[in-house]
Structure 1
Amino acid sequence: MLRLHFTAGDLPRTRVADGPDPLWECVLSLHRLREERPESNLSGWREHVLRHSKAPLPLLLPLVPARGYFPDFLTPAESAEGFEAGLDALLSTRRSRIRDQMGRLATSRPLTPWARDVSEGGAATLRRLGAALRAYEHTAIGTWWPRLRTQVDSDRTWRARTQCTHGTEGMLKTFGPVLRWRPPVLEADYPVDKEVRLRGRGLLLIPSYFCHRTPVALADSSLPPTLVYPARIPEPLSTSLTAPGHARQETLARLLGHTRAAVLESLGSSCTTSELARRAGVSLSSASEHASVLRAAGLISSSRQRNCVRHALTPMGLALLDAPPAGRPRSVTA
């Protein structure tokens, strides 16, 4: 059983995150990838990921067991700002913290030679881990991010509206039966007994597409209290995560040109111009040029953050990517 103990000061500091967190989705999707009988809406996703992630999976799976503890440094808070921000924070984790958390992982199962290398926190090993995470995110998350986010956003909007009209306690009551609000304690079924005392820090609730059945909390009680929970997705929005079809890709290519269509397809999650160039396999100048055309057409938006420009799909761009090929209805799970 998981029990989160609130004080009066925690309620005003409790909130729902703005949307899904890309590194949490990466880690939790590794759990779903291992399921012997995946849900029907994940079957196409699972087949695609297993086919295209043969290189990163042997490096990531030993760090994220099917059950039980996995290191907190894999899901830093900075990931809320985007995958690359989270990855930068992950790769900057202190060696002592990596060693401690990997040591805890070793108490539940023997570490593979690769996992033992990770526990040392060497620069070359972390670069290799970063490359594996980036490749996996692009294949397993980035391709589906617009649809995934749209589905999760429906949950987030509902919780936030409830909090505005009925207060935080009213919002906490909406999580049943996964979470049970019994003032001043929020309870959930959990693999181990765990008591978390918020002590005025509040709680960040992160909705997740890949979180399944039970919520997940950070193991380190000194970190900002965080709880990832399975997003409640209404049936009309519960579309299957299937790989982009060849017919749709050809339609986009005829409309936009092959390179520009590839650039648009690469914008699964928001990214910088450099990241966009790498994903689409084009030069930096070419990515910038195509981004300008797509922005002028209203298909993407761009904003400057510090020393870089980040691009994201607009609702029109998302609708274009998510549209079925001509003559075929959109598939929705019953």
Structure 2
Amino acid sequence: MGRWVSNARAWVAAQPARHLGLQRALQLRDELLPFLLSRPAPDRDAAVPEDIRRALGALAEFQKACVAPYRTSIREMLDETRHCYSDMVARLGLAATLERLQFNAKWEAGTLTVDDGTDRAVRLDGQGLKLVPSAFLSGTPRLYRWQERTADRVLADRPSVRPVHIMVFPVCPHGLASTALVKDTQRPAKPLPQLLGRTRAAVLERLTRPQSTSELSAALSISATTASEHTSVLRSSGLVSTTRNGGSVRHEVTPLGALMLNSPPEPARAWCRDCAERRAVGSEAKELVA
């Protein structure tokens, strides 16, 4: 049992009311997800039912006590997963990606079938499907659908409704992802910001995966000019390489830069051998397609 699970169970067990509150939230998960996964939340101007409000409060307390202290680990894990799977989808297609990852989900002839224990047919009607990774979900993905209010493009005072389709899938279907989480306060201090400066060190860390100047700018909330200046200094120091393909420029950490970061150029989560092998198969397929 992972340390995160032990800490979370201890926090819940400390007060019986916490357990009851989370149980109610679990029972209302279909009603809660639009509030948790939509921006802005659907029907935010309408009165929120009291049971929904209490459930959201219980989840907020749990998030503050059991999730927020692991924010950095969770963010790194989800960023890596999004990058890995989005690359596989772009190169192999959604159907091949779902098959390789063995998510009990299939995309065939325009139809998405997800084995999540609920017998139903879902039509996307051209609205698309949002894939959301979860560090805590295990087993099969979960498919959710609801109606979201949007402002009419012609008459802003006439809200319209559009369907939202979201598939939440586990980073590790075997339930081992949470074992890799580390509290922010327990993470080893990094001397690199003291050597390079906080922003330049952050740029180097982001470039463990190839990124453009605009992507760096957006990710670090700095101007494109500032991002370009930092990559130029890092490149002249041999820590970053830059490649140009037509009008596209991509920056990536060099082996020397990776050594300074004390991590490989493409960090891999090794808590689950089966998941690592599946990702390796995806990488091999990527090389064949390229």
TM-score (norm. length: structure 2): 0.50
Larger RCO (CA within 8 A; separation ≥ 6):
1
TM-score (norm. length: structure 1): 0.44
